[in-house]
Amino acid sequence: MKEIEGIITDAPKGGAKYGKFQIIEDEGNIRVQTLYTGICGTDRGMVAGHLDFTYNPEGQSFTVLGHEALGRIMDPGSSTAFKKGDLVVPVVRRPGDCINCRIGRPDNCSDGKKHEAGITGKNGFMRKSFVDSEEFLVKVPDSSMLDYAVLTEPMKNVMKAMEVFGTVSRRAIISSDDSTFEGMRCVVIGTGPEAFLYAMSFSDLGFSTIITNRHPIDDNRMKILSYFHITFVDYSKDDSLIGDNINVIVDTSGDPGTIFRFFRRLSYNGIALLFGTNSNAPATGVDGRDIDRMIERNLTLVGTVDAAKIHYVQALEKLSRWGNMPNSPLKNLITGIYKPSDTGIFTERNPNEIKAVIKWA
Ligand code: NAP
């Protein structure tokens, strides 16, 4: 056993406590000092006791929270890939024994026996330091990314979803007739951190991109969107502004009614990427015309979860490029920096929050 100072929950019952606790030692020989951890809906769902699929590591009656992290190498152990002082991001999913896990794709785990740091059966990173193995650490290429590299974990989900988008869009040409995506239309549902990272990525590809919610959004959000040439629409006021002939929908709301509201407007060969989860969302009606339309137009409705190590590398490249653009507002996605003892952040969310983070050092 090893003493740590961090934030724990009892999965799946919930609660959040900050203090010193004895945990089963981590596997690996590289010691990492935690610098920042991000807070996401999964952390809040765990603290509220709403996520039945979560469980504590074997032999422990609690889980150290946290799966979004940025750290600094304190002791590289026997690793030659890292040196003291390097910035690193730890990978969340740890492989089981299935074929996808064995080829480095635990994001596509085929028997559910993978583990996830801070979520299912493995301690997370909301603590002053942790130990890990070389294969589960990704080097941050540029030390100037210190202020925003904690966004790598949410961004890696987007890079995996882009891979899914590339795979499913192979069945028909969905680009413009000059081979780019100029003039193609993407609608992202939701205005949280993941929705922003999706909208920024599709806008980057050349899509004319709309982000939408059922209420207005604050000035900070509007400024970030304007910088990345993304349009916001409050669909509760006038959803005709979104129009028809959408080529790609990304959903981060998990709300079936909203997904189908826009799914019905997909153009031929359109793709809907489902990413958001909300088990409490109400049911919605789907009729024969929806199925006819899906068939006649070759529509694709596809789910995407988590990401592989390659997507962390791609996420860091993308964040580095965005972060180094002149007057980049990327850092403004982080709207609150909290102390580890501020455990109230798990139960109260500031309405203008995009991403809240905890600073550990
Ligand atoms: P988030 O901040 O909670 O974002 C959800 C967004 O959806 C919010 O902006 C919310 O708006 C909006 N929303 C909810 N109902 C809506 C509706 N009916 N119409 C339009 N917008 C609606 O969470 P996040 O961190 O960005 O993550 C997005 C979702 O992805 C979450 O459900 C999360 O659990 C899930 N997730 C999935 C994966 C994966 O691998 N698939 C990984 C991480 C997270 P309000 O806040 O105004 O309600």
Ligand 1 within 6 A of CB of 193: yes
DSSP per residue, 234-254: EHHHHGGGT-S-EEEEEE-S-
Residue to substitute in 191, 194, 258 for testing ligand 1 pocket (most ligand atoms within 8 angstroms of CB): 194
Residue position matching structure tokens 């972060």 = 323
Cα 195 to ligand 1 centroid, rounded to whole Å: 7
Burial 332-353 (b: 16+ CB within 10 A, else e): ebbbbebebeebebbeeeeeeb
Gap from CA of 219 to ligand 1 centroid (Å): 19
Topology of 2-150+333-359 in CATH? Quinone Oxidoreductase; Chain A, domain 1 (3.90.180)
Q: What confidence score (pLDDT) does residue 191 get?
A: 98
Mean pLDDT taken over the chain: 97
Nearest CA to ligand 1 atom 15: 253
Ligand 1 centroid from CA 276, angstroms: 5
Whether ligand 1 lies within 6 angstroms of the CB of 16 is answered as: no
Pocket of ligand 1 contains residue 275 by CB under 6 Å: yes
**Which of these, 127, 114, 159, 141, lies nearest to 32 by C-alpha position?**
127
In this prediction, residue 143 has a pLDDT band, given cuts at 50, 70 and 90, of: very high
Tokens of 199: 């909208």
Give the whole-angstrom CA distance, residue 288 versus residue 295: 11
d(CA 308, CA 321) in angstroms, rounded, equals: 21
Ligand 1 center from residue 190 Cα (angstroms) = 6
- The rounded percent of the chain whose pLDDT value lies above 70 is 100
- pLDDT for 3: 97
Q: What confidence score (pLDDT) does residue 17 get?
A: 98
Which pLDDT does position 354 carry in this prediction? 98
Tell me, using a 6 A CB cutoff, whether residue 38 lines ligand 1: no
Average pLDDT over residues 254-276: 97
Asked whether the beta carbons of 239 and 215 are under 8 A apart, the reply is no
pLDDT band with cut points at 50, 70 and 90 for residue 181: very high
Predicted local confidence at residue 204, as pLDDT: 96
Confidence of residue 159 (pLDDT cuts 50, 70, 90): very high
Q: Supply the pLDDT for residue 260.
A: 97
Give 269's pLDDT tier (boundaries 50, 70, 90).
very high
Q: How far is CA 142 from CA 82, 204, 321, 324, in A?
A: 14, 21, 10, 10
Cα end-to-end span (Å), the chain:
24
Decide: 108 in ligand 1 pocket, CB within 6 A: no
Side-chain half-sphere CA neighbours of 74 within 13 A:
14
Across residues 102-128, what is the average pLDDT?
A: 98
Among the atoms of ligand 1, which is closest to the Cα of residue 304?
41
75 alpha carbon – ligand 1 mean position (Å): 37
Residue nearest to ligand 1 atom 2, measured at CA:
192
For residue 247, what pLDDT is reported? 97
Q: CATH 3.40.50.720 in the chain, residues?
A: 173-297
Length of the chain, in residues: 361
Q: What is the pLDDT of residue 253?
A: 96
Q: Is the CB of 194 under 6 A from ligand 1?
A: yes
The predicted pLDDT at position 288 comes to 98
Contacts of 296 (CB under 8 A, 6+ apart): none
Residue nearest atom 33 of ligand 1, based on CA coordinates: 276
Other CB atoms within 10 Å distance of the CB of residue 163: 16
User: Would you state the pLDDT for residue 295?
Assistant: 98
Residue range(s) occupied by CATH 3.90.180.10 in the chain: 2-150+333-359
Residue 331 pLDDT:
97
Band of pLDDT at residue 258, cut at 50, 70 and 90: very high
Fold of 173-297: Rossmann fold (3.40.50)
Pick the closest to residue 361 from 81, 68, 37, 83 (CA basis). 37
Q: How far is the CA of 131 from the centre of ligand 1 (A)?
A: 31
The minimum-distance atom of ligand 1 relative to the CA of 305 is: 40
Task: Judge residue 88's burial from the number of C-beta atoms within 10 Å of its C-beta, 0-12 exposed, 13-18 middle, 19 or more buried.
Answer: buried
Q: What's the 133 CA to ligand 1 centre distance in angstroms? A: 31
* Helical ranges in 85-243 per DSSP H: 99-102, 152-168, 193-205, 219-227, 235-238
Task: Answer whether 242 contacts ligand 1 (Cβ < 6 A).
Answer: no
Those residues with Cβ within 8 angstroms of residue 360's Cβ, 6 or more apart along the chain or in another chain: 33, 34, 35, 36, 37, 126, 127, 128, 340
Average pLDDT on 181-194 reads: 97
Give the model confidence (pLDDT) of 19-48 as tens digits: 999 999 999 999 999 999 999 999 999 999
26 lines ligand 1 (CB under 6 A): no
pTM for this model (two decimals):
0.97
Question: Cα(318)–Cα(29) distance, rounded to whole angstroms?
Answer: 29
E-strand stretches of the chain: 2-10, 14-23, 30-39, 63-64, 68-75, 87-90, 93-94, 115-117, 121-122, 129-132, 137-139, 185-189, 208-213, 230-234, 246-251, 266-274, 300-303, 334-338, 355-359
Tell the residue nearest (CA) to atom 19 of ligand 1: 213
How many CB atoms within 10 Å of residue 132?
23
| Residue bearing the CA closest to ligand 1, atom 12 | 190
* Among 269, 102, 306, CA closest to 171: 269
Q: What is the pLDDT of residues 57-82, one digit of tens each?
A: 999 999 999 999 999 999 999 999 99
Average pLDDT rounded to a whole number, residues 244-261: 97
Residue with tokens 């493995």: 122
Ligand 1 pocket, residue 43 CB under 6 Å: no
For residues 279-302, average pLDDT = 96
Q: Does the Cβ of 276 fall within 6 Å of ligand 1? A: yes
Q: Angle, nearest 10°, between helix axes 219-227 and 193-205?
A: 20
Q: What is the largest CA-CA distance in the chain?
A: 61
